[in-house]
């Protein structure tokens, strides 16, 4: 049975160097499979999109004599999965990656690193071509996919739809805050050790699980009257929601997640758990608040608004969670030829929704046990406004995910 060779690349502005490495890879076996990096993967690595869309780059590679099969590479961490899927005997990369994949592919296939063609690269070509011609006419930003990884450089979020001036201002302000947190926390995540004494103590998943456990002290603080602490812990959870994304990005950048990759860790699962944890913590804390509230015949209108707003958010979060659950498993078990991805990552509206939920719930916590008391009504009114904004942005987030499903079905 003949040997199968697999290779990976972006192949942006296809040039002679690309052609030579494909030709040399083909000479090493009887069947050549090529993985073309997706637009989103390139953005996660370089904070910019390729000049040529992924569909066009795949078409160019597919047309080359000697290429037997082409697929879309959506994660660097899945190279072992791709090699197994296509029964690769040899994995070929340029020597600028020398030794990088030896560990994760040991026992799966042989790794060979071929010399790069000198004096030619896509980056060099881009510098020599007018930016206006290259980036304005062919910019993938017109149809850019949802970001699938956090980035400390450039924009980390995209918008699901257009809004009026007020909502657009809120979204842009939160985007700026989100970028600030990413930049501010990256140095800390860079120096914080992943293991101490051989024990793993600092990963994105550990941060996610840790903030999930905060639901217990938050509920206890609400129950026993430590309302300021309850409010603080709710906002601390909101901050940790940002931090786990920074940790995941930094560990992927500096290679500290290589142990997880070798064990078959699924990065998309981490992002999925992160998103679901937000919903679990918020809903359990809000449910605790509703259970601890006093309900009597005074200020029935105010109490009714609080309950109705809470029920609306329960329904929306449950629906979004179900959609996200289905999208994750649909993407996980999609056939290799399926290049369309559902919206697995949150957009600006989704992140801003979480911020309004956290602030609204933190304000509500200060009103226990009776939100109808005159001295706490300011907190009730402010919290309700925040949760109403959360309802609106929850709806926008849900619509975005459903639109992505519709586009995938076409």
- Would you name the residues annotated as active-site residues? 45-46
Helix axes 348-365, 377-409, angle to 10 degrees: 160
Measured over all CA atoms, what is the biggest interatomic distance in the chain, rounded to whole angstroms? Answer: 83
> How far is CA 386 from each of CA 346, 355, 380, 394, rounded to the nearest angstrom?
19, 9, 10, 12
Question: Alpha carbon 388 to chain centroid distance?
Answer: 25
Question: Alpha carbon 244 to chain centroid distance?
Answer: 11
> How far is CA 208 from each of CA 130, 213, 246, 335, 354, rounded to the nearest angstrom?
44, 9, 12, 30, 15
Q: Residue 13 in contact with residue 122, Cβ under 8 Å?
A: yes
Rounded distance, CA 45 to CA 150, Å?
10
Q: What backbone torsions phi and psi does residue 402 show, to the nearest 5 degrees?
A: -70, -35
Rounded distance, CA 114 to CA 161, Å?
45
What separation, in Å, do the N-terminal and C-terminal C-alpha atoms of the chain show? 38
């Amino acid at each position: 049975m003949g040997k199968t060779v697999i290779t990976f690349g972006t192949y942006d502005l296809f040039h002679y160097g690309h052609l030579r490495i494909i030709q040399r890879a083909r000479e090493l076996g009887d069947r050549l499979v090529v993985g073309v990096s997706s637009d989103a993967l390139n953005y996660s690595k370089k904070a910019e999109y390729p000049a040529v869309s992924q569909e066009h780059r795949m078409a160019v590679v597919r047309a080359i004599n000697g290429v037997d099969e082409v697929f879309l590479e959506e994660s660097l961490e899945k190279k072992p999965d791709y090699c197994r899927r296509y029964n690769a005997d040899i994995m070929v990369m340029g020597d600028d990656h020398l030794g990088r994949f030896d560990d994760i592919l040991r026992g799966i296939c042989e790794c060979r690193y071929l010399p790069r063609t000198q004096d030619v690269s896509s980056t060099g070509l881009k510098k020599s071509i007018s930016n206006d011609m290259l980036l304005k006419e062919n910019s993938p930003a017109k149809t850019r996919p949802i970001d699938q990884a956090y980035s400390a450089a450039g924009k980390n979020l995209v918008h699901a739809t257009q809004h009026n001036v007020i909502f657009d201002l809120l979204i842009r302000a939160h985007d700026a805050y989100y970028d600030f947190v990413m930049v501010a926390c990256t140095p800390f995540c860079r120096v914080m050790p992943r293991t101490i004494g051989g024990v793993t103590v600092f990963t994105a998943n550990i941060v996610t699980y840790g903030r999930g456990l905060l639901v217990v002290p938050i509920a206890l603080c609400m129950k026993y009257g430590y309302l300021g602490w309850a409010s603080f812990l709710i906002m601390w959870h909101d901050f940790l929601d940002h931090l786990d994304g920074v940790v995941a990005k930094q560990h992927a950048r500096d290679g500290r997640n290589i142990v997880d990759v070798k064990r078959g860790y699924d990065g998309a699962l981490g992002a999925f758990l992160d998103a679901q944890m937000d919903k679990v913590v918020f809903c359990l804390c809000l449910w605790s608040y509703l259970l601890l509230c006093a309900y009597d015949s005074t200020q029935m209108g105010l109490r009714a608004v609080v309950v109705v707003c809470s029920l609306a958010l329960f329904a929306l979060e449950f629906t979004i969670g179900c959609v996200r659950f289905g999208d994750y498993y649909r993407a996980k078990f999609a056939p290799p030829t399926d290049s369309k991805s559902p919206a697995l990552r949150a957009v600006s509206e989704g992140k801003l929704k979480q911020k309004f939920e956290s602030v609204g719930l933190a304000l509500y916590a200060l009103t226990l046990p009776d939100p109808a008391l005159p001295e706490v009504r300011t907190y009730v009114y402010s919290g309700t406004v925040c949760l109403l904004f959360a309802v609106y942005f929850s709806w926008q987030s849900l619509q975005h995910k459903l639109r992505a499903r519709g586009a995938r079905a076409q």
